[in-house]
Amino acid sequence: MKDSVNMTLLYDYYGQLLTDKQRECFDLYYNQDYSLAEIAAEVGISRQGVHDSIARAETMLRHMEEKLGCRCREEQLQKALAVICEAAGQLSQFDDVKTRSLAGDILRAADTIKE
């Protein structure tokens, strides 16, 4: 079974570190939903070669995430931003002008991080 969501996320972060052949096979397999046989015909290598290329790409992507953790940090950042925005939204409901102003500052700063 394809672990397509996780793999495609890792590919978004680290795909440029793969070889051209790995990127092509990975894209056809995960993004275009080609079979191994279809990829083999498309790129002109054996079905086993396609399988090996995809397996090496998956291993490399997992290794990069293990070492660098970019996807994990992004996920943590998004969760923290959601909490910050929720708290600032609640603060913006207070009657105190200073509190509402600070809540607005927090929300604007959070919006720049989201971009």
**Residue-level pLDDT at 1:** 39
**Residue-level pLDDT at 7:** 93
Q: Is 18 exposed, middle or buried (0-12, 13-18, 19+ CB in 10 A)?
A: buried
Dist. CA 24–CA 40, nearest whole Å:
11
70-98 confidence digits (pLDDT tens): 999 999 999 999 999 999 999 999 999 99
**Residue-level pLDDT at 114:** 81
- The mean of the pLDDT values for the chain is 93
- pTM metric for this prediction: 0.77
Dist. CA 71–CA 69, nearest whole Å:
6
Q: What is the DSSP letter of 101?
A: H
40 CB contacts (<8 Å, ≥6 apart)?
Answer: 46, 47, 49, 50
Whether the pLDDT of residue 43 is over 80: the answer is: yes
Interval 26-32 mean pLDDT: 95
